[in-house]
Chains A and B, each alone.
Chain A
Amino acid sequence: MTKCGRVILALLMWGGSVSAVSAQRAGRWTLHTQYSTVLPMSDETREFAGGFSWRGGTIDIARGATDHVTIGASFGWHVLSEENTGTSVFPDGAISGRALRHVNSVPLMVTGTLALGSRDGIQPWFGVGGGTVWIESRTESGALAAEDVKWHRGAMGEVGLRIPRESGATITLSARYQRAFETNGLEREYMTFSVGSLLGG
């Protein structure tokens, strides 16, 4: 794991030590912060920046509708990056040659989650979301930087596990499929694999 990854993991463990305060989830707010790794999915995304990325983070804020259902909002920052010799296609041109290619994705979603089982034990949960995704596709070489920035309609689906700790905090593991639908011929699709901390609720 890179130094950056170790730092984020340390922050995550520290965050997990924060005590939660609640008895019932309905009507209570939760803050779910996650460190996310990113895996490109579609051919179009992989051709642009195909490498697995250790750089991502996701923050969800939700309010319990019932003890098992939450409604909230999700904000993410997911980075894909690869040095390759491919061709970057933009709406009004293309660049080919050895270059670093980055995708910065910022999904902003309205979300809903359903958790199963008792909160005293490990709880699986499912989530869906819809909203918008800000995508920056950037190509850099020593001589040139070109970028394309777009807002896309977006959707996501998520599964995960909530693992309660004796301190009262909750550690989470999750996998999220994130899609930014086509805008001006460009779409992005990737998975995030996250470990996080659930506070409150």
Chain B
Amino acid sequence: MLRWRRFSGRAVLWVGSMVIAVGTACYPGVIEGVGELDLVVTAYDPAASFGSLTSYVMPDTIIRVDAAGTDLPPASDLDQQVLDAVATEFAALGYTRLAPSSLTAPDVVVVLTVNVDELPRWTDPFWWGYWDWFEGWSRWSPSWDTGWTPRYPWAGKYAGVRSPGTLQITMIASGQTPTEARVIPAIWAGTIDGLFTGTEASVVSRFQSLIRQAFDQSPYL
């Protein structure tokens, strides 16, 4: 009995020590610091039928948002180059771009935002305050007005903060019947962390390849 007690006691200690030693090594060497990396994050709604989407409308503006969620005036003509790069990618996928004044409803609306301050989340609950001026909503959608918010099916999968200057490209199924009350169906988002930081030359040298990467890693589009 004494021998068994000694055996079992040491065995428990031994197993416990092993578990602690392995457990403390679970996430070694975590990177510290924000904004030092170019990071491209894409997420989508697996239930969306991307194969049936052929047309889109994209407002010719990139909305800038501060930490309080207030939209700010557009920045330099660099914005237009970024919008053109996004349009090029959609064209390469075979999408037809419709004018915002189109009477025909597009399959999706693509909107671009940049947070000028750090945001404590990856899924931006932006909506009406940024895009209420856009003329298409009343024609194509179920009148998404104040009180509607986008639903990101992937929310909760990504934790962290968005660096200042992060560009988010969001694809919204404009004509989709809402499945939940006052919920706008976001079906894809491409987020480029910290794109609009540094000098303009730095942005120019990076944005095309990073936008292309967002589409390259989204083969379902």
Contact = CB atoms under 8 A, between A and B. Distances in A.
A95 B14 contact: no
Interface string B23-44: 1111111111111111111111
A21 B4 contact: yes
A92 B154 contact: yes
A142 B139 CA distance: 42
Contact of A94 (B26, B38, B42, B193): B42
Interface in A147-201: 147-148, 197, 199-200
Contact of B10 (A18, A90, A99): A18
Interface in A1-31: 4, 7-8, 11-12, 14-15, 18-21, 31
A48 interface: no
B206 to A, nearest CB: 12
B7 interface: yes
- What bracket does the count of chain A residues touching chain B fall in? 35 or more
B3 to A, nearest CB: 6
Given A4-B21, A11-B21, A96 B217 contact: yes
B11 A18 contact: yes
A19 to B, nearest CB: 7
Interface residues of chain A: helix, strand, loop or mixed (majority):
strand
Given A11-B17, A99-B39, A79 B25 contact: yes
B29 A83 contact: yes
B21 A8 contact: yes
Interface of B: 3-4, 7, 10-11, 14-15, 17-19, 21-46, 122, 153-154, 157-163, 193-194, 213, 217-218
Interface of A: 4, 7-8, 11-12, 14-15, 18-21, 31, 33, 35, 54-57, 59, 77, 79, 81, 83, 87, 89-100, 102, 104, 138, 140-148, 197, 199-200
Given A55-B22, A55-B28, A57-B19, A95 B159 contact: no
11 contacts: A8-B21, A18-B7, A21-B3, A55-B26, A79-B22, A83-B31, A87-B217, A97-B37, A104-B26, A144-B39, A144-B41
B213 A96 contact: yes
B28 to A, nearest CB: 6
Contacts of B153: 92
A184 to B, nearest CB: 9
A15 B7 CA distance: 10
A4 B19 CA distance: 12
A142 B35 contact: yes
B159 A146 contact: yes
Given A11-B14, A57-B19, 4 more contacts: A33-B15, A97-B193, A100-B29, A141-B31
Nearest to B192: A97
A1 B7 CA distance: 30
B3 A95 contact: no
Nearest to B118: A143
A200 B3 CA distance: 12
B18 A57 contact: yes
A21 B29 CA distance: 42
B39 A146 contact: no
B127 to A, nearest CB: 21
Contacts of A15: 10-11, 14, 18
